[in-house]
Structure 1
Amino acid sequence: MDLDAFTAVHSDEWDRLHRLARRRRLDGAEADELVRLYQAVATHLSTVRSAAPDPVLVTRLSDLLTRARVRIGGTHEPAWSDVTRFVAVDVPAALYRIRWWSLAVIVGCLAIGVVSGVWVATQPEALAAMGTPSEREEYVQNAFASYYDPGASFAAMVWTNNAWIAAQCVGLGITGVWPVWVLLQNAVSVGATGGMMAAYDELDVFLQLIAPHGLLELTAVFVAGAAGLRIFWTWVDPGPRRRVVALAQEGRALITVAVGLAGALALSGLVEGFVTGSALPWWLKIAIGALALAAFWTYVLVLGRRATQAGFTGDLDADRAGEVVPTAG
């Protein structure tokens, strides 16, 4: 059988079935047409399998029939179930798959932050680069603490700013440059600030104010950077998949990471807005921050491991992602 000729003759029917299967509402005539085309395409698939079993065409027609069968059967799940699955399965699966990338980024950024802090705290020229003596004194004694102004508006401002940074790390990760720049900037900035506070014997104030929200906030930013770098590495080394397919699959899954981290950053924003600058005892503030961080990693490691073992990656379902050319390996 001439497969090209067969495809040319029947492609209009396949396209029509695809369009009907994706419509939210069908009238009586369209519903009858959907059933008729489903039967015809099922015959086409049988013909292809028996006469010229091309894997690409077989996959395309199989996916098309699956989508049409679901549409005919009316087995659409309620919208809330999609939200539940996204939160409980897709997000933790996507985060779990980059856990080692996240760990490497966290360790690297912590090392850079510590080195930056020690350098500023011990080297006069590095401390001088942080500002004039009067500016440093004002920052250490007043500005640093007064920044954390309790309230909903402050929490919302912090959340939107950090969520935007995380989204940029993932969305621009393919450049390989932007996430590195963001990670370095954050690590050096936090470390240098801590070093300046230490130089004025205010390191305890720095830790008390940065730890409650910073444990989760910085972790989320570092994980976003890891997701961006993972996309870049997929572009460099796509493995057995075609590069464009690998980028599409990993990109969709890792955008899920950005959406999930928005939730984590919302939690850290609440802590920063209502706990960090509050009158609570410092030990309780840090305990709340540590609990938020523990909740995040429990969510990632427990639910994520379960989801990946079930075959989820954080990517879209096959019927929403579109057909993929089969690859060996």
Structure 2
Amino acid sequence: MREVAFIKQNKEKWLEFEQAIFGKAKKNPDELASLYIHLVNDLSYAQTYYPKSKAVTYLNHLAALTYQKIYKTKREDTNRLVYFFKTEVPLIVYQNRRYIFYAFLLFFVFTAIGVLSAMNDENFVRLILGDEYVNKTLEFIDQGNPVAIYKSGSNWGSAFGITLNNLRVGAFSFIMGIFGGLGTAWVLMQNAIMLGAFQYFFYEQGEGVFWKSVRGIWIHGSMEIFAMIIEAGAGLIFGAAILFPKTYSRVESLKMGLKNGLKIWFSTMPFTIAAGLLEGFITRYSPDMPIALNLFIILATLGAISWYYLIYPFRVNKKLKQLHVPAL
């Protein structure tokens, strides 16, 4: 079918869809879902046969508005904050899961670079962490407590300062996505290389010292580092929206990427704050803590944040499909 004939055949139907979305008469979610399915079918056809047509941009925009309308209607009786964490963020994470995967991939590559660099250059750790930090940590290791540096300062003071710094780094990582994602990758590289070198430094001091450091650092590190990766994923989403607008205009794509990335970044804040509290109040007591409790905290915090970002989004999407409302 020629494009002109396709538009002529469906024009009246699309105008009815617009009226259903923008009109004053309220449609229930099931009716909107039915309209949405028709729109997605027309959009798929247009993308296949007329990929550069303005009809594709129009249908894409109309489908997005219908999708938002469905969930705005469904959440009218739901607390906005509950909906945000329970449904909105998981769906955004699922729809952009490839960028979360890229963030994890980059993190592991950069961390490995940090380990290999420290392994092959004895001065690398001092270059990354600074002589003062390394010398002080070596003193603590000689005293039998590799993580004694976390005892400096008061509980509340440490927790507040650490949390503020981590929130700042996360925000900076996301904002740097404006450079096509390269700025975000740069921030992630700096932190991941530092982490790899830092952990290898403890490993170099002996297996016992290494495991003591793991027991201490990863009490707060499980959520702190994981959140850092998710924040990098948010920055990559922002960057990709600028570089690859697809059927949207570049401005519209940028707005969507900014909004989606910002929501993912915001969702990491509770985990970042929790990690700061753990670092300020709990990590300092790790050497005197029963190993079972120590491991429980590490595994529980890692499990919680992993479930929310890596498992739960798939469950939300599956539930969406069961309602016969395909995601964009």
Normalised by the shorter chain, which TM-score bucket?
A: 0.5 to 0.7
Partner residue of 2:150 out of 136, 147, 169: 147
Q: List gaps (5 residues or longer) in structure 2.
A: 1-10, 29-72, 141-145, 322-327
**Structure 2 residue aligned with 1:169:** 173
CA contact (8 A) 1:91 1:256 kept: yes
Cα deviation 1:18-65 (Å, max 9, x = unaligned)? xxxxxxxxxxxxxxxxxxxxxxxxxxxxxxxxxx8595x776655442
Q: After TM superposition, give the deviation of residue 261 of structure 1 in Å.
A: 0.4
Alpha-carbon distance between aligned partners in 2 of 1:77 and 1:237, rounded to the nearest angstrom: 31
Alpha-carbon distance between aligned partners in 1 of 2:213 and 2:90, rounded to the nearest angstrom: 32
CA contact (8 A) 2:147 2:284 kept: no
Distance 1:209 1:228, change over 3 A: same
CA contact (8 A) 2:104 2:229 kept: yes
Alpha-carbon distance between aligned partners in 1 of 2:136 and 2:258, rounded to the nearest angstrom: 45
Q: After TM superposition, give the deviation of residue 262 of structure 1 in Å.
A: 0.4
Q: List gaps (5 residues or longer) in structure 1.
A: 1-51, 313-328
**Structure 2 residue aligned with 1:258:** 265
What TM-score, normalized to structure 2?
0.66
Larger RCO, structure (CA 8 Å, separation 6 or more): 1
Alpha-carbon distance between aligned partners in 1 of 2:201 and 2:311, rounded to the nearest angstrom: 39
**Structure 1 residue aligned with 2:203:** 198
Distance 1:243 1:59, change over 3 A: farther
CA contact (8 A) 1:91 1:257 kept: yes
Distance 1:67 1:265, change over 3 A: farther
Alpha-carbon distance between aligned partners in 2 of 1:238 and 1:293, rounded to the nearest angstrom: 34
Q: After TM superposition, give the deviation of residue 199 of structure 1 in Å.
A: 3.1
Alpha-carbon distance between aligned partners in 2 of 1:154 and 1:79, rounded to the nearest angstrom: 40
Cα deviation 1:154-210 (Å, max 9, x = unaligned)? 223222221222222223312123211210110111112223333333323332222
- Three-state SS of the structure 2 residue aligned to 1:139 is helix
After superposition, residues 73-222 of structure 1 pair within 5 angstroms as 81-127=79-125, 129=127, 136-142=134-140, 145-149=148-152, 151-175=155-179, 176-201=181-206, 202-222=209-229
Cα deviation 1:258-308 (Å, max 9, x = unaligned)? 110001212222322222112323452232122112112222344422433
CA contact (8 A) 2:128 2:194 kept: no
Alpha-carbon distance between aligned partners in 2 of 1:181 and 1:116, rounded to the nearest angstrom: 14
Alpha-carbon distance between aligned partners in 2 of 1:196 and 1:281, rounded to the nearest angstrom: 25
Alpha-carbon distance between aligned partners in 2 of 1:131 and 1:277, rounded to the nearest angstrom: 20
CA contact (8 A) 1:145 1:209 kept: no
**Structure 1 residue aligned with 2:237:** 230
- Three-state SS of the structure 2 residue aligned to 1:147 is helix
Alpha-carbon distance between aligned partners in 1 of 2:251 and 2:165, rounded to the nearest angstrom: 31
**Structure 2 residue aligned with 1:315:** none
Q: After TM superposition, give the deviation of residue 133 of structure 1 in Å.
A: 7.1
Distance 1:89 1:131, change over 3 A: closer
How many pairs does the alignment contain? Answer: 258
What TM-score, normalized to structure 1?
0.66
**Structure 2 residue aligned with 1:294:** 303
Alpha-carbon distance between aligned partners in 2 of 1:191 and 1:274, rounded to the nearest angstrom: 25
Q: After TM superposition, give the deviation of residue 152 of structure 1 in Å.
A: 3.1
CA contact (8 A) 1:166 1:258 kept: yes
Alpha-carbon distance between aligned partners in 2 of 1:213 and 1:260, rounded to the nearest angstrom: 18
CA contact (8 A) 1:271 1:289 kept: no
Alpha-carbon distance between aligned partners in 2 of 1:181 and 1:124, rounded to the nearest angstrom: 24
**Structure 2 residue aligned with 1:245:** 252
CA contact (8 A) 1:148 1:272 kept: no
Identity %: 19
Q: After TM superposition, give the deviation of residue 87 of structure 1 in Å.
A: 1.8
* Structure index of larger Rg: 1
Q: After TM superposition, give the deviation of residue 69 of structure 1 in Å.
A: 9.2
CA contact (8 A) 1:169 1:224 kept: yes
Q: For residue 186 of structure 1, what is the amino acid of its counterpart?
A: N
